[in-house]
Amino acid sequence: MMSSGTVTVQLDKPYETFKLESEPPMTAEVTRDELLGYYSLMYRMRRMEISADTLYKAKHVKGFCHLYDGQEAICVGMEAGATWGDSVITSYRDHAWQLSRGDTVTGVLCELLGKQGGCAKGKGGSMHMYKADANFYGGNGIVGSQAPLGAGIAFAHKFAGDGCCSFALYGDGAANQGQLFEALNMAALLQLPLVYVCENNQYGMGTSKKRSSANDDYYTRGGYVPGIKCDGMNVLSVRECTKFLKKHAVEVGPIVVEFDTYRYHGHSMSDPGITYRNRDEVSQVRAARDPVDRAKRYCIDTELVTEAEIKEIDKEVKAEVAAAVEAAKAAPPPEQSELWTDVHVGQSKDFFMRGPDISTSSGVYGTNR
> What pLDDT is stored for residue 1 in this prediction?
42
Length of the chain: 369
Whether the Cβ atoms of residue 172 and residue 200 lie closer than 8 Å to each other: yes
pLDDT single digits (tens) 7-62: 999 999 999 999 999 999 999 999 999 999 999 999 999 999 999 999 999 999 98
User: Residue 186, Cα to own-chain centre: how many angstroms?
Assistant: 24
Extents of the domains making up the chain = 6-334, 336-369
Strand partners, 170: 198
> What pLDDT is stored for residue 52 in this prediction?
98
Q: Output the CA torsion sign for 183, 209, 48, 74.
A: negative
The answer to whether the predicted template modeling score (pTM) of the entire model surpasses 0.75 is: yes
| Summary mean pLDDT of the chain | 96
Cα-based angle 340, 65, 241 (whole degrees, multiple of 5) = 110
- Looking at CATH, the fold of the domain delimited by 6-334 is given as Rossmann fold (3.40.50)
Task: Compute CA distances 60 → 191, 257, 341, whole Å.
Answer: 45, 36, 24
Counting runs of H as helices and runs of E as strands, what totals does the chain give? 11, 8
Counting as low any pLDDT under 50, the low residues of the chain are 1
> What pLDDT is stored for residue 118 in this prediction?
97
What CA–CA distance (Å, rounded) separates 328 from 51?
11
Cβ count within 10 A of residue 277 = 16
Task: Compute CA distances 335 → 111, 122, 129, 344, 352, whole Å.
Answer: 14, 10, 19, 18, 19
